[in-house]
Structures are given as C-alpha cells and as structure tokens.
Amino acid sequence: MHVTISQLSGIVAYEFRMHWRRRSLLVVTLAMTLITVVLAVVTAGEMGQDSMRQLVSQLDQEQGAHGIDVLTFTILFATWAPVGGALAFVLPVLVADTIPLDEQLRTRELLDSLPLAIGVYLAGKVAGVFMAAMTGIVFAAGATAISWWVFVGPYDLVSYLQMWLLGSGALIALNGSLAVLLAAGQPTRRRAALLIIMIWGVGVVALGSVLAGDSNLVAYLSPMRAPIIMRYTRFDAYSSTPVPFLSADTAQALAIGLIEVIIAALVVWSWMRRRAQRA
Amino acid sequence: MSRHLSRFAGTQNLYSQRPRLAYVAQAARLSLGLVGAAGIVFLAASLARGVPLSLAEVRSLAQASALALVVSVGWPAATAVILGWQQRGLFAWRVSRGALAWPLIVGAILGMGVFLLPGADSVMPWFDRQRAVELGLPLAIGIHCALAFAPDDEPGLEVMLACPRPLAWALLERLAMIWAVFGVIGLAGTLAGMSAMPGQAGETALLRWIPPAALLSGIGAYTTLRTRVAAFGAAITAIIWFVFVFFSSVLLPNVPMIVPLNYLTPVIWPVHPYLQPDHLSGGDYGLNRLCVLLVGIGLVRLAARELRDSERVLLGASRRGRQAGG
C-alpha cells in the first residue's frame, strides 16, 4: 500500500510539473485570468455610466430582485463564458498528449519494466492533470475574485468560488480525464491531439443540434457538457443567492460524465494490460 | 546528380542576391511599422475625442496596411514561389505527403457534405448553407497547419538541421501539400455549392473561404512554432475560428458595443476572416479579403522565420536567451 501511494504521488508530482513546464496550461490560465479582469474593468465602466445601476433598479422594481443578486449573476455569467469554454473545448486538446508522450519519448518500455501497476499509472496521469489544472483554477479564481471586488464592488463570493471550484473542477475532472484516457492508445502527441479534436468536433456538431432542441440525451453524452456549461447562463439564477452549482441538470450531467470516464478508464486499463501481457 | 548540384548553385545565386533582398525587407518592415504607428495614433486620437473611429478613417488605415503588406509579404511570397519552382527538384514531396492527417481531411469532406445537404440549415439554426465551405474547411486547414510541424514532435530534427537544405523548406513543403489537398476539396465544395444553390457568384464563393483559410493556416503554423506545442496551436486556431464565426455580426463597425470595446470593434473589420459580402460595401469587402489573405501569408512567413535559429529550434531557447542565461 505504501509503495502504491508513493508511486502514485510520484507520477502526480511529475505530471504536475511537466504540464506547467509545457507552457500551454500556463497560457490558458493567464488568458482566463486576463479576460476576466478585462471584463471586470469593462463592467465597472458600464456601472460608471449608470446603465448597470438602472438595470438593477429596473429589475428590483419589476421582479423584486435584489441588487447584489443581479450583480452576482452578471459576474458569474461574464466569468463563466470564457472559463467554461476554455475548460470544455481547449483543455482536453492540451492534455491529450499526457500518455502518448511516454510512447513518443520511448519511456514506455522503461515503465513496463518497472513494478508499476497499470491502474496506478493511469490514476497518476489523470490525477496529475487534475491537480495541475486545478492549481491554475485556484490562482485564477483568487485573482479574478479580487479584481471583481475592487472594480465592481461587493457580490456573493460563495457563489463565485463555488462556480470556479465546483464548476471548473467538474469540467476538468470529466473532460480532462476523458481526453487523457481516450488518447491513451495513440503513438504520438500529434495523433493524440488530432483524435481529441475529431471527437470534440463531433461534439460541437452535436451541441448545435442540442441548441436547436433536438435531443437532450446528446447533451448529456456529448463531451461538450452542455448542462454544466449552460449552468450560469440562465437568467432565473439571480433570484436566489448563493447560486448553487448543483442542480438536477448538472447532477445528471456529472453522473453520466463520470460513468463515461469510468468506462473509458476500464477499457484503457484492459487494453494496456493485454498489451503488457503480449509484450 | 549534376542536375541537383546545379540547382544547389541556383540556391547560391539566391544567397548572392541577399543584400538587395535585405534592403527590400528593411523597407517593408519600416512601412509596416509606420502604418502600425499611424494606427496607434488614430486609436489614441479617437479615445481622446471620445468618439470611435469612423468607417472612412479605418478604411484609409486598412488601405495603407494592405499596401505595406503587399510590399512586405506579397512580394517575398511571390519571390519564394518563383525560387521554389526553380528548385523544385529538391523538395521532398513524398515525405511531406506522410504528414497529411487523413482523418482530418475525411472529416472536412464529410462535414462539408453534410452542411451542403438540403435541410441542413433547419437542423442547425445558426447555419447558412451558402457558408458550407467557409465554415468547416478553413478550420480544418488551420488545425492541420498547426499540427504540420512542431519541433518537439520531429523525430529526425537534428539530422534535418544538419542538412544543407533550410529547415523552413520542410514546413513550407508540408503547408503547400496541405493547401494543395484542401484546395482541391474546397474547389470541389465550391462547385457543389454553386450547383446546389444557383445564383452565387463564383469569385465571391471562392473569396468566402480562401482568405480565412490562409489566415487560420498562418495562425496555426505560427502559434505551433512559437510555443513548440502542436496541440496549443490547434487550440488557438479553433478559439479564433469560434470567436469570429459565432460573433461575426457583432465584430463590425456601427454595431452598438459596450465601452471600451466600442473603440476596438470598428478597427477589426479589415482583418475579420468571416466578414460577409453583405456586411459592408463591395470595395470594403475586397479590401478585407486582401488584408486577411496577406496577414495569413505574413504569419506563415513569420513561422518560417522561427526555424532560422537552429539553437532555438533544437533546444527551445534563442541564442540571445541562452547567452543571457549563462
């Protein structure tokens, strides 16, 4: 048990470092932070022009919504659009090479010769991606929370942090893990990226049909995670703060996504096991 | 053998012309710099007066930029094509053909075919059948160009750097191969679209997809070579495509926009890859197509320049950076 934990923590730590050294995660994190800070400045400019205050008072009079609720929802909506998009569409392509890189750098044979269980290897790779991406998310959440507070004013911080940590965490856990596992059999980084682009491309077309109201099942099965992406885009959310991340829709999407990840993990695990036995 | 050697002699002639080429490059850089400075002055003036730039002001800037781009990008590109034709025996087309990603090509053909089917626009309300080629094909070309050449993924990089043939040739060969394949697909798709929806002008149908494809190719190739990660280049290309496709009608002049974006949106139209013929006048649309095409070629040129410093290509750090780092 001690050896397993030691191996797992070693792989996680190595993956964590390598993902940050490859720069792409750094660029995505900085881009998410920068875009959100710019949006905070833009929103502050709008409030300076009284248009936001007018909207708040109008909603207060017409629908009885409190100013802080409207402001919180505006902040959640503005932040979640770029962050959710980046995590759902971009992150999977960037982390797809996690396992194929071992094949490309010819370290696969070395790993096969070590007393390392395939399950531990896969868990370490997936957990490494999760830890690396979540570190960026924690940094971005902190930096942007402060910028919204400074530029725009007090808002519901619990909803905001819940969106970053639970919403982003869910997308990383589902889409990041799925991309790592689905691309596991590819021999090169290029082919891994290509495969994930193709799968996610089909997902975008599927999302188009979902938006057209064709099928709800596709929305849950597609790696676009439409119910999670759309969580903070519905205007009925402002009537109650804190805005909870978990709703019936998101819970269903989470459950189906987790089942997909588990099935993918089992398939990859059995395929790698068979390959090791053949070798 | 002697034929190949004589062609290498042709390459030497190219190098003997370098001083003259250097003067042209300097002049081109200067003209681009002047246009860039003029753009900053225009933007600063509009911020100072509190009124966004007008269509006429941006048009004059775009015309000057197009002229500077023709000198700095169009002329060297034409020279490169002529020289490439003269050295054509030295290209390794067979190897470049191996770099083609067939799943992406098949996916682009299938996607285009599905979008061209009657009734496709009723399934996806945001979609217009006239745009079947321009929506999918430039994205596929851009992603393909991003995946074409990444230094970290090249198994024989040291050998390629040790060869007398410039490394940039390998990149340009692959991009040319991608463009040849997708060009044929695009032409076939354009003809299919014109026969399915009669009444479209042929040149407009071609102008719809060729400039965005050039721009996304340039973005993909340059981002990959700059960051050394092919997946990152592909992701950036996809993001830019997404932004311009889905916010196409918002990123236009005279569209109400929040502060400070209302100062930026009027200057985007000259390089807006998905500007539609009915968005602006015919002249402005033509100017936009020219600028988008030239910026795309310029980015490909910048990508090829990234391969000039062999230490940077091999180790990921420039000579200057390595010296500074001790």
The whole-number pLDDT of residue B9 equals 47
Alpha helices (H) along A105-247: 108-112, 118-151, 157-162, 169-171, 177-182, 189-211, 216-221, 226-229
Q: Is B148 on the interface with A (CB under 8 A)?
A: no
Distance CA(B97)–CA(B111), nearest Å, equals 22
Q: Are residues B169 and B263 in the same domain?
A: yes
Check: CB of residue B308 under 8 Å from CB of residue B170.
no
Q: Which residues of B touch A96 (CB under 8 A)?
A: 231
One-letter amino acid at A242 equals P
pLDDT for position A3: 87
Q: How confident is the model at residue A171 (pLDDT cuts 50, 70, 90)?
A: very high
A236 vs B285, more confident: B285
pLDDT in tens, A23-58: 788 888 998 898 888 888 877 766 665 566 666 666
Nearest CA-CA partner of A130 in A257, A224, A15, A253: A15
- CA distance to partner chain B, nearest, from residue A211 (Å): 8
Q: What are the contacts of B16-19 at 24+ separation with CB within 8 A?
A: none
User: B191 and B98: one domain?
Assistant: yes
Both tokens of B37, joined, read: 């400075």
Give how far Cα B250 sits from Cα of A21, A158, A250, B270, B322, Å: 37, 33, 30, 14, 44
> What pLDDT score was predicted for residue B92?
79
Q: What is the pLDDT of residue A240?
A: 62
For residue B275, the SS3 value is coil
Smallest Cβ–Cβ distance between A197 and the set B143, B150, B229 belongs to B143
Q: Based on the fold, state whether residues B155 and B77 are members of the same structural domain.
A: no
CB contacts, 8 Å: B153 with chain A: 104, 188-190
Residue A175 parent element (H or E): none
Same domain, B191 and B309: yes
Q: Please report which confidence band the pLDDT of residue A13 belongs to, taking 50, 70 and 90 as the band edges.
A: very high
Domain count, chain B: 2
The whole-angstrom separation of Cα A204 and Cα B124 is 11
Chain A residues closer than 8 Å to B152 by CB: 189
Q: Are B185 and B109 in contact (CB under 8 A)?
A: yes
| Chain B residues whose beta carbon lies within 8 Å of the beta carbon of residue A195 | 103
Which of B56, B90, B124 marks a domain boundary? B90
B253-268 as b/e, with b when 16 or more CB fall inside 10 Å? beeebeeeeebebbbb
**Whether residues B190 and B144 fall in one domain:** yes
Of the candidates A23, A104, A197, which has its C-beta nearest B229's C-beta?
A: A23
Tens of pLDDT, residue by residue over A172-229, are 999 999 999 999 999 888 889 989 988 888 777 666 555 555 456 777 777 878 788 8
Residue B180 pLDDT: 93
Single pTM value for the model:
0.80
pLDDT of residue B2: 47
Residue of B nearest to A190 (CA): B147
Contacts of A198 in chain B (CB under 8 A): 103-104, 107
DSSP assigned state of A237: G
Give the whole-number percent of chain A exceeding pLDDT 70. Answer: 84
What's the pLDDT at B326?
A: 45
State the complex-level ipTM.
0.71
pLDDT tens per residue across span A252-264? 889 999 999 999 9
Answer left, alpha or beta for residue B229, where phi above 0 means left and psi between -120 and 50 means alpha.
beta
**The amino acid at A148:** W
Indicate if B182 and B313 belong to the same structural domain.
Answer: yes
**Selection from B113, B285, B275 nearest residue B193 by Cα:** B113
Closest-CA residue to B155 (of B142, B170, B140, B145)? B170
Q: Are residues B41 and B182 in the same domain?
A: no
Q: Do A46 and B259 touch (CB under 8 A)?
A: yes
Shared domain check, B130 and B55:
no
Same-domain pairing of B24 and B139: no
Q: How many CB pairs under 8 A join A and B?
A: 84
CB B272 within 8 A of CB B208: no
- Measured between alpha carbons, how far is A140 from A135 in angstroms, rounded to an integer? 9
Could you give the C-alpha distances from B133 to B53, B210, B246, B257, B289, in angstroms and in order?
33, 10, 16, 30, 16
Burial of B10 (0-12, 13-18, 19+ CB in 10 A): middle
Task: Say yes or no for a CB contact (<8 Å) between B124 and A45.
Answer: no
B55 and B116 in a single domain? The answer is no
Q: Cα separations (Å) of B176 from A6, B157, B236, B318?
A: 50, 20, 21, 27
Query: For each of chain B's 326 residues, which pLDDT tens digit applies?
Result: 445 444 544 454 444 555 566 676 677 778 778 888 888 888 888 888 878 888 888 898 889 888 888 888 877 788 888 888 887 777 778 878 877 888 888 888 888 887 777 766 665 555 677 788 888 899 999 999 999 998 888 878 888 888 888 888 889 999 999 999 999 999 999 998 888 877 778 888 899 999 999 999 999 999 999 888 888 898 889 888 888 887 788 888 877 776 667 788 888 899 999 998 888 888 999 999 999 999 999 999 889 988 888 888 887 765 555 555 54
What the block records as the tokens of A68 is 């802080």
Q: How many CB atoms lie within 10 A of CB A196?
A: 27
The CA distance from A51 to the nearest CA of chain B, in Å, is 10
Residues on chain A touching B242 (C-beta within 8 angstroms): 85, 89
- What's the domain range around B36? 1-90
| Of B90, B124, B146, the domain-final residue | B90
Query: What are the φ/ψ torsions at residue B272 (nearest 5 degrees)?
Result: -75, 110
Domain boundary among the residues B59, B90, B121 is at B90
Q: Are residues B312 and B193 in the same domain?
A: yes
Q: Is B81 in the same domain as B156?
A: no
Distances in whole angstroms, Cα of residue B182 to Cα of each of A129, B145, B149, B246? 35, 11, 17, 23
Note which residues in 229-268 of chain B have CB less than 8 A from chain A.
Answer: 229-232, 234-235, 238-239, 242, 258-261
Structure tokens at A74: 């505006």
Cβ-nearest to A194 among B125, B127, B147 = B147
